[in-house]
Amino acid sequence: MTDVDKVSKMVHDVLENQDLAVLATHSSGQPYTNLVAFLATKDLKGIIFATRCTTRKYMNIVKDARVALLIDTRSNEEADFHKAMAVTVTGKAQEVGGEEREKLAGLYLEKFPHLIEFISSSHCGLFKVVVSKYTFVSGFQNVVELEVIK
């Protein structure tokens, strides 16, 4: 499990098969987490999610763009201890606009067609997390990091 291609494929598979991620932001050092519906870009360099501008996470990101996301394959059964895989994403979230928003919103809605009204509403921000690192955990304790080369 040491090959870049192999690990990025495994990360890709986890991200593709999950809909929800735990998003971590903070306010004055106090950590705060939420569930968000997410989409990973094909090149794995970005994670897309949406939130209304009235939410606490929106305000937290405005103050500090550094975020982390946790995406995992747990099924809430005992077998999770050997079977479950988890991906922690760290990076910076930026709200997207204009053409890029239109393009990413289209991709996002392909995965979550039922969120059309939510995405189209005027106070919904679409965010792209520019990924700096993936931390991939498998087999309970094997941990490998994939860093995006800039």
Partner 1 sequence: MNPVIPLDHIHEEHREFVGGKALAMAAMAQEGILVPDAVCVTVLAYQEYVATTGLAERIFMELNRKDFTDMRWEEMWDASLRIRNMFLNASIPLLLEKNLRLALEPIAKKGPVVVRSSSLEEDSSKVSFAGLHESYVNVKGIASILDHIKLVWASLWSDAALLYRQELSLSPEKSAMAVIVQDLIQGDKSGVAFGQNPHDESQAVIEAVYGLNQGLVDGTIEPDRWIIDRATGRIISHTPALRKEALFALDEGVRLQSLPFEKQMVPPLSNTDLKRVYELVRRLEFLFGAPQDVEWTQKGPFFYALQTRPITTLPGAPSEDKRAWYLSLRRSFRNLVNLRKKIENEHIPAMVSEANQLATQNLKILPDNELAEKIKKRSHLYQKWVDIYWADFIPLAHGVRLFGQVYNDIVHPSDPYEFMDLLGTTEMIGMKRNSMLEQMASLIRNDHILAKSLKSDIPQIINEEFEQRITEFLHEFGYIFCHTSECDEGRRGVIRMAMKLAERKAAERRIPARGKKSNNLRDSFFSLLKNSQRTYAAELLDLAKASYRLRDDDNIYLGKIEEQLSVALGEGKRRIENRGIESGEELTISEVIRALENPHVKIKRRKEKKAKENHFSITMRQLRGQPASPGVVRGKARVIAHPSDVFSFKAEEILVCDAIDPNMTLIVPLSSGIVERRGGMLIHGAIIAREYGIPCVTGIPEATEYIQTGDSIIVDGDFGIVTIANKAAK
Q: Which is nearer to partner 1, 32 or 81 (CB)?
A: 81
Residue with the two structure tokens 């930026």: 94
Task: Return phi, psi of residue 31, to 5°.
Answer: -65, 150
**Distances 117 to 38, 60, 66, 122, 124 between C-alpha atoms, Å:** 16, 24, 28, 10, 10
Give me the least distance between CB of 124 and partner 1, in Å please.
Answer: 30
Q: Which is nearer to partner 1, 114 or 149 (CB)?
A: 149
Give me the least distance between CB of 83 and partner 1, in Å please.
Answer: 8
Give me the least distance between CB of 143 and partner 1, in Å please.
Answer: 3
Residues near partner 1 (CB under 8 A): 1-5, 7-8, 43-45, 78-79, 81-83, 134-135, 139-149
Rounded Cα distance, 140 and 68, in Å:
20
Residue 44's nearest CA partner among 128, 141, 139 is 128
Give me the least distance between CB of 100 and partner 1, in Å please.
Answer: 20
Q: Which is nearer to partner 1, 69 or 124 (CB)?
A: 69
Q: Which is nearer to partner 1, 11 or 105 (CB)?
A: 11
Rounded Cα distance, 56 and 26, in Å:
9
